[in-house]
């Protein structure tokens, strides 16, 4: 009888371990996708800024920091998602959930971006006012433009996440990336 209880306990432990390892793999996949998405956007944004301002060369910090920004912001997004930020939107139509989460996370990312600029100024022994001036030109319209860009760039990310929550991650992956759209059917409950 004790052997049966030990075996049952071992299988429960194995199931918890599998669940934990599956959860770790799932979180790492989400982190990798969010980071890759943000990295592409930050590189494009940095390149566009360089072209727009006709700079002779964007600072090495900004261009090489696109991947660091993507890694940090990707982790920030995952951490705040773990806090279930935006749960009040849960009963709203999907469009409002996506727009609401995009707005909330845009605000969070702007705050982290301001903190990043302050850290950069500190490392370069510049006054904090210099870093604020570099961020969006140091004026409210510039800051609001950054916020609008973050908001718009987050819409596809949260749209995919929310749709994946409705139809299932594997089903969405197959629909978008494997050509499974021909056999995919949404069934009304």
Q: Would the pTM count as exceeding 0.75?
A: no
Residue ranges covered by each domain of the chain: 1-66, 84-189
**Nearest alpha carbon to residue 66 among 44, 50, 51:** 44
Cβ neighbours around 184 below 10 Å, total: 13
pLDDT value of position 59 = 52
pLDDT value of position 155 = 94
Interior CA angle at 37 toward 29 and 22, to 5°? 5
pLDDT value of position 186 = 63
Q: Per-residue pLDDT for the chain (189 aa), expressed as one digit of tens each? A: 444 444 444 444 444 556 888 888 888 888 988 988 888 888 887 777 766 665 555 454 555 677 887 888 888 888 888 888 778 888 899 999 999 999 999 999 888 888 877 887 888 888 877 766 666 666 778 788 888 888 999 999 999 989 888 888 777 777 777 765 566 666 665
pLDDT value of position 133 = 67
Calculate the alpha carbon distances from 53 to 58, 117, 164 in Å: 10, 19, 39
CB 110 within 8 A of CB 136: no
Token reading at 136: 């969006």
């Amino acid at each position: 009888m004790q052997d049966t209880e030990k075996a049952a306990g071992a299988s429960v432990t194995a199931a918890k371990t599998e669940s934990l390892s599956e959860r770790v793999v799932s979180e790492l996949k989400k982190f990798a996708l969010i980071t890759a998405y943000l990295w592409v956007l930050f590189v494009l944004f940095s390149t566009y800024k360089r072209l727009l301002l006709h700079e002779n060369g964007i600072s090495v910090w900004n261009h090489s920091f696109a991947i660091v920004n993507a890694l940090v912001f990707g982790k920030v997004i995952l951490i705040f998602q773990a806090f279930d930020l935006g749960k009040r939107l849960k009963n709203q139509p999907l469009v409002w959930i996506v727009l609401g989460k995009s707005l909330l996370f845009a605000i969070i990312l702007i705050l982290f971006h301001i903190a990043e600029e302050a850290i950069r100024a500190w490392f370069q022994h510049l006054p904090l006012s210099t870093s604020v001036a570099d961020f969006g030109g140091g004026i409210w319209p510039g800051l609001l433009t950054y916020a609008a860009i973050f908001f718009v760039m987050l819409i596809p990310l949260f749209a995919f996440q929310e749709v994946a929550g409705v139809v299932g991650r594997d089903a969405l992956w197959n629909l978008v990336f494997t050509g499974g759209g021909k056999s995919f059917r949404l069934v009304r409950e």
